Structure 1
């Protein structure tokens, strides 16, 4: 502010409007920087016109991953039990059921997208 007043004294009243406008712009930039720093310090993300929007909140985990991991978790002991008790037929029946469950889940997800 002192520099602006000194410049007005040196340049005269003809440049007063330009000096005031320049001072207000610098003041505005300083205030904006302080507000941005304060917001970022409190965990807020400062808005930038070219920043991508934040991702939408997720409602839960990916059910396809849950089904796949569940299939593997059930499939390993089921393979041992079915192959040990019923041989190849039991093994094929056990894994046929697991494949059918995964296929039904995939079809359900595919239909819900439409």
Structure 2
């Protein structure tokens, strides 16, 4: 947060100043305190909005990376499948496809955004 955090001591200081200065200065003291509270609330809200925007940006990047990995996997699997299929190496073909699937699933699990509840 910023330097404008409002604490209990601030309120106590306001009340002490009111007692010392009298009721004539009460509106100015209350306005000053209200401005500090408004700034603190605005800073907190801005911080949360910024954090949310950052999270959305990171989620979008994760989706792009997962898509790129999926496309790359399919492109790489084509020549592997052709070579192993033509030579009759069905077990090797199955192992290659399982490996591709495992890599994609593992990446999706690691890159998945974590929800804080």
Pairwise TM-score range, normalised by the shorter structure? 0.3 to 0.5
User: What TM-score does the superposition give when structure 2 sets the normalisation length?
Assistant: 0.42
TM-score (norm 1): 0.43
Structure 1 or 2, whichever has the larger Rg, is: 1
Structure with the bigger percentage of helix: 2
